[in-house]
Amino acid sequence: MNIIKEKISKRGKFMQNESYVREELIIERNEIEKETELIRSIIKTREELKIANHNFEYAQDDLVDYYVYQIKANQAKLNYLIKIAKAKGIEVDMINDLRFSLWEEEEVG
C-alpha cells in the first residue's frame, strides 16, 4: 500500500513540475513577444522620425510647425522606448539584427 501512495505522490509532484514548466514557458514566451514588440516600436518610431525630418526639409509655411511638432514627438517617444529597452538589457545590435530580419519577413510575406 505504501508503494502505491509513493507512486501517486511522485506522479503528483511530476504533474506539479510539468505545470510549473508550462507556466514558465508561457511567461518566457510572453516576455519574448513583449521585447519583440518593443523592438518593432523602436524601429517604427525611427522610421517615422526619418520621414518627419525628410518632410521638414521640404515643408513650407504652416507645415514647418507641424513637422517640428512631429519630430519632437517622435524623438521623445524614441528616447522613452530606448530607455525601456536598455533597462531590459536589449542592445542596439539586437535591434539592428531584428530590423533586418523584419525587413526580410516583409519582403517574403
pLDDT digits (tens, 9 = 90+) for 70-90: 999 999 999 999 999 999 888
Contacts 24+ apart (CB under 8 A), 47-52: 48/74, 49/74, 49/75, 49/78
18 or 27, greater pLDDT = 27
Mean pLDDT of 9-35: 68
pLDDT interval class at 8 (50, 70, 90) = very low
For residue 52, the model assigns a pLDDT of: 96
19 has pLDDT over 50: yes
For residue 28, the model assigns a pLDDT of: 77
